């Protein structure tokens, strides 16, 4: 179950994971992009943590706060797409005080549509959208162990695109080189997904 209180814990803990991987995120992004992925993620999550007291029971309003935080903290392309993701989630959760895990796949699919429209990308371009697609499919097939299944989905996404070129964004300019590298956004989601193993074990998922 996802609620205001669980989101407060989520964002506190995911910031720790982001800061632990700060240098790695910048490093892998530097091979195919601007090298500022760690900066973008850390700044956005810090801004959210500074606004936790503004979170409301209405999940739509809370996710809109998250969107505004990323918009304020980062003007990078990835930061913009994260903000759009939160805005989409906010729209889909408006008026809800709780969210069951079986509702999550449809919301993720809405996020994929919104991000693809803004970024002019599609599933299969080797971006974090492909990871979200794997996560959506994984949750829709899960009855428990959501955290572990989400984390495994991020691994499956990385493995599926090994040896394939990045087809969108700055990374597409390094077509051959990108075959041997993970997409930075996909890599980041994989590392950050460890939060789901910590918070959403089988017992927690059934609550």
Coil, strand or helix: which one is 59?
A: helix
**HSE (CB half, 13 Å, CA atoms) of 129?**
26
**192 three-state secondary structure:** helix
Nearest to 130, CA basis, from 159, 173, 103: 159
pLDDT, one tens digit for every residue, the chain (207 residues): 899 999 999 999 999 999 999 999 999 998 877 899 999 999 999 999 999 999 999 999 999 999 999 999 988 899 999 999 999 999 999 999 999 989 999 999 999 999 999 988 999 999 999 999 999 999 998 877 888 999 999 999 999 999 888 776 665 555 666 787 899 999 999 999 999 888 775 433 333
At residue 207, the pLDDT reads 31
pLDDT tens for 83-130 read: 999 999 999 999 999 999 899 999 999 999 999 999 889 999 999 999
Dig out the tokens for 9 from the structure.
């814990």
Q: Which long-range contacts (CB under 8 A, 24 or more apart) does 1-4 make?
A: 1/98, 1/99, 1/100, 1/101, 1/207, 2/59, 2/98, 2/99, 2/100, 2/101, 2/104, 3/57, 3/59, 3/97, 3/98, 3/99, 4/55, 4/56, 4/57, 4/59, 4/62, 4/97
Q: What is the pLDDT of residue 168?
A: 67
User: What fold does the segment set 2-205 form as a domain?
Assistant: 1.25.40
pTM for this predicted structure? 0.91
Q: Would you put residue 98 in left (φ > 0), alpha (ψ -120 to 50) or beta? A: beta
Domain ranges of the chain: 2-205
Q: Quote the pLDDT of residue 201.
A: 59
């Amino acid at each position: 179950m996802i609620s205001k209180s669980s989101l407060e814990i989520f964002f506190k803990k995911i910031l720790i994971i982001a800061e632990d991987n700060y240098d790695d995120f910048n490093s892998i992004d530097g091979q195919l992009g601007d090298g500022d992925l760690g900066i973008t993620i850390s700044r956005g999550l810090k801004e959210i943590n500074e606004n936790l007291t503004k979170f409301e029971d209405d999940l739509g309003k809370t996710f809109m706060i998250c969107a505004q935080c990323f918009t304020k903290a980062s003007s990078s392309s990835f930061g913009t797409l994260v903000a759009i993701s939160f805005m989409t989630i906010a729209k889909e959760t408006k008026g809800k005080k709780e969210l069951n895990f079986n509702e999550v796949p449809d919301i993720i699919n809405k996020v994929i549509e919104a991000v693809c429209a803004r970024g002019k990308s599609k599933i299969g371009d080797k971006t974090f959208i492909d990871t979200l697609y794997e996560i959506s499919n994984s949750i829709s097939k899960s009855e428990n162990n959501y955290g572990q299944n989400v984390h495994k989905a991020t691994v499956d996404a990385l493995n599926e695109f090994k040896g394939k070129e990045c087809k969108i964004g700055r990374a597409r300019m390094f077509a051959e080189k990108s075959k041997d590298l993970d997409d930075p956004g996909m890599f980041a989601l994989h590392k950050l997904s460890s939060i789901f193993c910590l918070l959403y074990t089988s017992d927690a998922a059934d609550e």
